[in-house]
Amino acid sequence: MTRAEASSPLLPCRSSEKEFVLKQKQEKESTQGKEKAKRVYTEMPLFLGNAKDISKNSIKTDGKKAEEARAKETKAALASVHRSSEHRNNSNRMHKDKDGKRGASEETLGQKPRKGRRRKGKPPVKIIFLGGIGEIGKNMTAIEYGNDIIIIDAGLTFPDEELPGIDLVIPDISYLVANKNKVRGLLITHGHEDHVGAIAYLLKEVNVPVYATKLTLALADNKLREHRINRAQLVCINPGDKIKLGCFGVEFINVNHSIAGAVALSIDTPNGRIYHSGDFKIDLTPVAGEQIDLSRIAEIGREGVKLLLCESTNVERLGYTMSETVVGTTLDHLFSENMNRRIIVATFASNVHRVQQIIDIAVKYRRKVALSGRSMLNVVDAAIKIGELTIPEGVLIDVEKIKNYFDREIVIISTGTQGEPMSALTRMASGDFNKVTIGSNDTIIISASPIPGNEKMIYKVINNLYRKGANVVYESLEKIHVSGHACQEELKILHSLLKPQFFIPVHGEYRHLKRHARLAMDLGMSENNILIADIGNCVELTPDAIQFGESVSSGSRLVDGSSLEDRENSVVMKDRKHLSEDGIFVITACVSERTGDLLSEPSVVNRGFVMPNNADYVSDIRRIVENCVEQTDVRADVDSSELTAVIKKQVKNFIYKKTKQNPVIMANIVRV
Ligand SMILES: [Zn+2]
Ligand SMILES: [Zn+2]
């Protein structure tokens, strides 16, 4: 492998080769990092066609003063670019050079300014929301300028009760597919499903380099392997790194969250800086890793932030989120109180630092650790490989071997904190998990809080565990879980440090977004500088304004096994809803091809249909079918379509008349 290859951010890197490449890349960057970062930022104005002087000066000077001077110059350059007609020419030329056709930004640069545009000349930076706004889940935002698009996150959402049988919900990415030659990269803020879950579906259609930290990439890689995607270009970044993607300069900032390796993004665009908070909290005593980089955030604020996109999950909660360390203290005290009992801790597999705390305390109390649940095994495996999780030798045992130990010697770490029907804990509670049988000497600690909507399922699990004689500890009883999201005071700190000119709250339902807008106004921001966006919205950012532009095609796509459908037009969903509400009748009639007569009594089967007053309509329906066969010229109706249609219609009318119900009717004609 050549040196050039090793440092290329576009290099496909997988498994051990990937690690090697990453290491080489990091080593190289640690010496060249500053130089490279400088280059990144000095190259930016080049795109704008006016950067010769700036880049020369930047290379000559150094240090903080120079940094400031450079920032000033860049600002000045941007302003002059903005005024310059030369920029228009250059910019047009550049778009034509690249694609051989007019770029999107050129349209806005043309003589006729679009309706409602406040400024002539400079095109806006577009912030396009494809998911994760007005909802908590399937995060995906695109930032576009001219011929460049970068994507932030590619998340999924789990289906609600409206979507029976659906596995996953992902954002509609048709806008990105239509513009795929503009997409320069995918930036993933962290490895939670609502940020990384749709990566395989995105890369299948828009294969671009993926930039994320080590753990995020390891989790993403697992997903790509499941989908047999081998051509992905995974580029490992560290907090503090700066990269250039098209006209955008991106800096990754370390933040705290309920998963290791979470970052925020500071994105320099031709119209000013956008700060994307990612999911974050301010944890001054994190269990592992660094504190959120408040000093860099303050610096970024001083340098100037045009637009803040900030998560809103916990905006309804007063005060501060507790530190992850609190959980360790509670766990320690629970372990010491339950010395002679077997302990089972359920937690999110992705919360590697939580898993680390449980393991550390298990080691302290001389217990062996068994893992239970597929995602727990997968994540722990990935985290050990990249050194994010440390387990002393001999501590981990197979869950099958727990019977060889006394209860007091065992801790089981399990999935299933949300009462998911197939999870290890749910199956333990209902007694159909043969590897672990719950009894009166078990203490079960549920180290998580219910995701809204899951409460019923979780309390059912807790009730079942109590019924089996176990003792259960959960969030409302002990400080056994802390959130990964910033509460009000932490959000205020971020706003105050960044002092953005404009603000769009993200990562929240509508009520969260509204509350977050109110919080920003309480801090002195004008209502005119805040936008509440929705999925499909395109917000246009110019150097002195934000406004809504033209919306893009957007929505949800449903994943069921290996098939994909749009939520809005899903026939399958309509059928499933219909079936779940009204049930189904399946009618089978066997007719003679030669005579057109019925050869046997029609079969009528119904499922999920409530017969009023125990009435039996089966014989009536049989008679209807017999009449239909008699009245149809079966020999002429070669594909039985006429007969099928008439049976369906008449049976449907009959059932509706009798019951006011509207079940699905299926008619099969067998021709012999
Ligand atoms: Zn998250
Ligand atoms: Zn999230």
The answer on 463 and 575 residing in a single domain is no
Q: Residue 262 CA: which ligand is closest?
A: 1
Q: Is the pLDDT of residue 501 over 90?
A: yes
pLDDT of the residue at 615: 67
Confirm whether 347 is domain-assigned. yes
The three-state (H, E, C) secondary structure of 408-422, written as one string: HHEEEEECCCCCCCC
Name the band, by pLDDT with cuts 50, 70 and 90, for residue 640: confident
Name the band, by pLDDT with cuts 50, 70 and 90, for residue 68: low
Name the band, by pLDDT with cuts 50, 70 and 90, for residue 656: confident
Q: Around ion ligand 2, which residues have CB less than 5 A away?
A: 194, 279
Q: Is the pLDDT of residue 189 over 50?
A: yes
Least confident range from 219-223, 233-237, 447-451: namely 447-451
pLDDT of the residue at 22: 44
Specify whether the CB–CB gap between 224 and 200 falls below 8 A: yes
pLDDT of the residue at 56: 31
Report how far residue 426's alpha carbon sits from residue 415's, in angstroms, rounded to the nearest whole number. Answer: 9
Confirm whether 486 is domain-assigned. no
pLDDT of the residue at 667: 87
pLDDT of the residue at 6: 35
Which are the contacts of 372, defined by CB distance < 8 A and separation ≥ 6? Answer: 399, 412, 413, 414, 415, 424, 435, 436
pLDDT of the residue at 207: 95
The better pLDDT of the pair 595, 562 is held by: 595
Q: Is the pLDDT of residue 17 over 90?
A: no
Report CA(194)–ligand 2 centroid distance (Å).
5
Per residue in 201-232, pLDDT (tens digit) is 999 999 999 999 999 999 999 999 999 998 89
DSSP classification of residue 395: -
Name the band, by pLDDT with cuts 50, 70 and 90, for residue 103: very low
pLDDT of the residue at 35: 41
pTM: 0.72
Report CA(158)–ligand 2 centroid distance (Å).
13
pLDDT of the residue at 39: 32
| CATH number of residue 450's parent domain | 3.40.50.10710
* H or E stretch at 186: strand 183-187
pLDDT of the residue at 588: 87
pLDDT above 90: percentage of residues in the chain: 57
Task: State the average pLDDT over residues 193-204.
Answer: 95
Q: Is the pLDDT of residue 592 over 80?
A: yes
Confirm whether 85 is domain-assigned. no
The better pLDDT of the pair 90, 273 is held by: 273
pLDDT of the residue at 168: 85
pLDDT of the residue at 572: 67
Residue 111 tokens, joined: 């003589």
Q: Residue 507 CA: which ligand is closest?
A: 2
Q: Is the pLDDT of residue 81 over 50?
A: no
The angle subtended at Cα 98 by Cα 97 and Cα 99, nearest 5°, is: 100
Confirm whether 645 is domain-assigned. yes
The chain-wide mean pLDDT, for the chain, equals 82
Name the band, by pLDDT with cuts 50, 70 and 90, for residue 55: very low
Report CA(195)–ligand 2 centroid distance (Å).
6
Of 669, 665, 660, whose CA–CA distance to 621 is shortest? Answer: 665
Least confident range from 320-329, 490-499, 565-574: namely 565-574
Q: Residue 195 CA: which ligand is closest?
A: 2
Task: State the average pLDDT over residues 554-567.
Answer: 76
Least confident range from 8-12, 46-50, 94-98, 532-536: namely 46-50
Report CA(484)–ligand 1 centroid distance (Å).
7
H-helix segments, 266-418: 294-303, 325-337, 352-364, 374-385
Q: Is the pLDDT of residue 612 over 80?
A: no
Q: Residue 132 CA: which ligand is closest?
A: 2
Report CA(167)–ligand 2 centroid distance (Å).
19
Specify whether the CB–CB gap between 269 and 247 falls below 8 A: yes
Of 311, 329, 199, whose CA–CA distance to 255 is shortest? Answer: 311
Least confident range from 47-51, 353-357, 426-430, 586-590: namely 47-51
Q: Is the pLDDT of residue 238 over 90?
A: yes
Name the band, by pLDDT with cuts 50, 70 and 90, for residue 602: confident
Confirm whether 423 is domain-assigned. yes
Task: State the average pLDDT over residues 571-597.
Answer: 78
Per residue in 376-412, pLDDT (tens digit) is 999 999 999 999 999 999 999 999 999 999 999 999 9
Report CA(279)–ligand 2 centroid distance (Å).
6
Report how far residue 540's alpha carbon sits from residue 126's, in angstroms, rounded to the nearest whole number. Answer: 5
pLDDT above 70: percentage of residues in the chain: 78
Q: Is the pLDDT of residue 78 over 70?
A: no
Q: Which long-range contacts (CB under 8 A, 24 or more apart) does 8-17 make?
A: 9/209, 9/211, 9/233, 9/235, 9/243, 10/209, 10/233, 10/235, 11/233, 11/235, 12/231, 12/232, 12/233, 12/234, 13/233, 13/234, 13/235, 13/236, 14/221, 14/230, 14/232, 14/234
Report CA(427)–ligand 1 centroid distance (Å).
26
Report how far residue 88's alpha carbon sits from residue 97's, in angstroms, rounded to the nearest whole number. Answer: 14
The three-state (H, E, C) secondary structure of 573-592, written as one string: HHHHHHHHHHCEEEEEEEEC
pLDDT of the residue at 14: 39
Task: State the average pLDDT over residues 354-381.
Answer: 95
Of 319, 316, 300, whose CA–CA distance to 500 is shortest? Answer: 300
Separation in Å, CA 494 to CA 243, 262, 271, 487? 23, 16, 22, 11
Backbone φ and ψ of 208, nearest 5°: -125, 160
Q: Residue 190 CA: which ligand is closest?
A: 1
Least confident range from 137-141, 148-152, 635-639: namely 635-639
Report CA(451)–ligand 1 centroid distance (Å).
13
The answer on 465 and 330 residing in a single domain is yes
Report CA(58)–ligand 1 centroid distance (Å).
37
pLDDT of the residue at 436: 94
Specify whether the CB–CB gap between 363 and 413 falls below 8 A: no
DSSP classification of residue 612: G
pLDDT of the residue at 668: 86
Report CA(555)–ligand 2 centroid distance (Å).
18
pLDDT of the residue at 664: 83
The amino acid occupying position 215 is: L
Report CA(654)–ligand 2 centroid distance (Å).
50
Separation in Å, CA 71 to CA 36, 272, 445, 447, 647? 16, 11, 52, 46, 76
Name the band, by pLDDT with cuts 50, 70 and 90, for residue 534: very high
408 half-sphere exposure, CB direction, 13 A CA radius: 6
| CATH number of residue 579's parent domain | 3.10.20.580
Report CA(180)–ligand 2 centroid distance (Å).
25
The answer on 339 and 455 residing in a single domain is yes
Report CA(137)–ligand 2 centroid distance (Å).
6
Name the band, by pLDDT with cuts 50, 70 and 90, for residue 258: very high
The three-state (H, E, C) secondary structure of 438-487, written as one string: CCCCEEEEECCCCCCCCHHHHHHHHHHHHHCCCEEECCCCCCCCCCCCCC
Report CA(51)–ligand 1 centroid distance (Å).
38
CA dihedral 172, 174, 179, 184 (to 10 degrees): 30
Name the band, by pLDDT with cuts 50, 70 and 90, for residue 113: very low
Task: State the average pLDDT over residues 110-116.
Answer: 36
Of 422, 456, 473, the residue at which a domain comes to its end is 473
Q: Residue 350 CA: which ligand is closest?
A: 1
Report how far residue 551's alpha carbon sits from residue 534's, in angstroms, rounded to the nearest whole number. Answer: 10
Q: Is the pLDDT of residue 174 over 60?
A: yes
Report how far residue 335's alpha carbon sits from residue 344's, in angstroms, rounded to the nearest whole number. Answer: 11
CA dihedral 424, 426, 428, 432 (to 10 degrees): -100
Report CA(237)–ligand 1 centroid distance (Å).
18
Report CA(321)–ligand 1 centroid distance (Å).
14
Q: Is the pLDDT of residue 79 over 70?
A: no
Q: Is the pLDDT of residue 520 over 70?
A: yes
**Residue 222, helix vs strand vs coil:** helix
Percentage helix, strand, coil for the chain under 3-state DSSP, each rounded to 5 = 40, 20, 40
The answer on 468 and 329 residing in a single domain is yes
The answer on 331 and 464 residing in a single domain is yes
Report CA(192)–ligand 1 centroid distance (Å).
5
Name the band, by pLDDT with cuts 50, 70 and 90, for residue 165: low
Which are the contacts of 547, defined by CB distance < 8 A and separation ≥ 6? Answer: 116, 118, 531, 539, 540
Name the band, by pLDDT with cuts 50, 70 and 90, for residue 175: very high
Q: Which residues pair with 126 in a beta bridge?
A: 144, 540
Of 473, 492, 527, the residue at which a domain comes to its end is 473
pLDDT of the residue at 19: 43
Task: State the average pLDDT over residues 162-184.
Answer: 88
Report CA(668)–ligand 2 centroid distance (Å).
48
Specify whether the CB–CB gap between 210 and 234 falls below 8 A: yes
Residues of the domain holding 437 = 325-473
Strands 183-187 and 148-152: parallel
Confirm whether 339 is domain-assigned. yes
The answer on 605 and 468 residing in a single domain is no
The answer on 579 and 451 residing in a single domain is no
Specify whether the CB–CB gap between 352 and 502 falls below 8 A: no
Residue 620 tokens, joined: 């009536």
Least confident range from 286-290, 440-444, 493-497: namely 286-290
Of 457, 473, 489, the residue at which a domain comes to its end is 473
Which are the contacts of 363, defined by CB distance < 8 A and separation ≥ 6? Answer: 392, 395
pLDDT of the residue at 29: 45
pLDDT of the residue at 120: 58
Total number of domains in the chain: 2
Name the band, by pLDDT with cuts 50, 70 and 90, for residue 480: very high
pLDDT of the residue at 36: 39
The three-state (H, E, C) secondary structure of 83-133, written as one string: HCHHHHHHHHHHHHHHHCCCCHHHHHHCCCCCCCCCCCCCCCEEEEEEECC
Specify whether the CB–CB gap between 540 and 113 falls below 8 A: no
Name the band, by pLDDT with cuts 50, 70 and 90, for residue 16: very low
pLDDT of the residue at 398: 96
| Distance linking the first and last C-alpha atoms of the chain | 68
The answer on 468 and 332 residing in a single domain is yes
Highest-confidence range of 156-170, 354-368, 653-667, by mean pLDDT?
354-368
Confirm whether 150 is domain-assigned. no
Q: How many residues does the chain have?
A: 672
Confirm whether 290 is domain-assigned. no
